[in-house]
Amino acid sequence: EIVLTQSPGTLSLSPGERATLSCRASQSVSSTYLAWYQQKPGQAPRLLIYDASSRATGIPDRFSGSGSGTDFTLTISRLEPEDFAVYYCQQYGSSTGCSFGQGTKLEIK
Amino acid sequence: QVQLQESGPGLVKPSQTLSLTCTVSGGSISSGDYYWSWIRQPPGKGLEWIGYVYYSGSTHYNPSLKSRLMILVDTSKNQFSLRLSSVTAADTAVYYCARLRSDLWSGVYFDNWGQGTLVTVSS
């Protein structure tokens, strides 16, 4: 089983600031199989990034993903009020299936 | 636009079987590019992948749930279903059905989700 560990658990920032969220895997993950999601209270998660760095349809370009191997990053260049939410990374392995990180809560400072 | 909708009882007694159905509209469940998945989220906690089914009926389950789990597909109704047996309070969660896109070049990711349904396990 591949365990994804996200840090920090909570990130307190102000609108306009830059957010950097980390996702570390317990063993190497193909970047093709790493995705990021945003979840707001009472809503289903929404796909932001797939293939580690490709934005999903309709996702603003202030969201970007990077990384390889065991270390991946989601960056939000300039925070908008609607970006405050919980963010999850997710990986897929052909033998192990899917798993999610525990989430990073991005809150308004 | 493909939409997914969960349905089923919101309350299940301990030791009984939790059964949910996901109805897919606006597209065919038999599309070869997708796996049809269940994910759950206990109140106030993170996401847990449960398993998925392909339109052919092949499945892949979370090992931690495998002994109690069955995911089935009904292509004639464009639906797939979840059955989790011997439930306890720890199975209380919002259950989401989701479409898992599998592409050799762009990866494997959940690109479409249902709104989720809360299932409470309690006597």
- pLDDT > 70 fraction of chain B, expressed in percent and rounded: 100
Q: Is the pLDDT of residue A93 over 90?
A: no
Average pLDDT of chain A, as a whole number = 96
pLDDT at B32 over 90: no
Q: What is the per-residue pLDDT for B59?
A: 96
pLDDT digits (tens, 9 = 90+) for B36-76: 999 999 999 999 999 999 999 999 999 999 999 999 999 99
B-chain residue closest to A92, CA distance? B108
Is A97 within 8 Å of B60 when comparing Cβ atoms? yes
User: How far away is chain B from the Cα of A4, in angstroms, using its nearest Cα?
Assistant: 12
Contact A100, A39 (CB under 8 A): no
pLDDT at A4 (0 to 100): 97
The predicted pLDDT at position B31 comes to 85
Q: Is B49 within 8 Å of chain A by CB?
A: yes
Res. B104: pLDDT tops 90? no
Output the CA–CA distances (angstroms, integers) from residue A87 to A3, B42, B78, in the order listed: 16, 16, 31
Measured distance CA(B35)–CA(B115) in Å, rounded: 18
pLDDT in tens, A61-90: 999 999 999 999 999 999 999 999 999 999
For chains A and B, CB pairs below 8 A equal: 71
Residue B100: list chain A partners with CB under 8 A: 98
- Decide if pLDDT at A1 tops 90: no
The Cα–Cα gap between B18 and B83 comes to 6
d(C-alpha A48, C-alpha A35), whole Å? 8
Residue B115 scores a pLDDT above 90: yes
**Test the A interface: residue of B22, B40, B47, B99 with most A CBs within 10 Å:** B47
Q: Which residues of B are less than 8 Å from A92 in CB distance?
A: 107-109
Partners of residue B97 on adjacent β-strands: B38
B1 touches chain A (CB under 8 A): no
Q: Quote the percentage of chain A above a pLDDT of 70.
A: 100
For residue B10, pLDDT beyond 90: yes
Q: Do B109 and A102 touch (CB under 8 A)?
A: no
Helix (H, G, I), strand (E, B) or coil at A83: helix
- The pLDDT tens digits for B76-88 are 999 999 999 999 9
Q: What whole-number distance in Å separates Cα of residue B73 and Cα of residue A84? A: 37
Distance from CA of B4 to the nearest CA of A (A): 11
pLDDT band of residue A31 (cuts 50, 70, 90) is confident
Which pLDDT band holds residue B103 (cuts at 50, 70, 90)? confident
CA distances from A5 to A23, A100, A102, B4 (A): 6, 9, 7, 29
| Number of Cβ within a 10 Å radius of residue A84 | 19
Assess whether pLDDT exceeds 90 at residue A96. Answer: no
Are the beta carbons of B51 and A97 separated by less than 8 Å? yes
The answer to whether residue A25 scores a pLDDT higher than 90 is yes
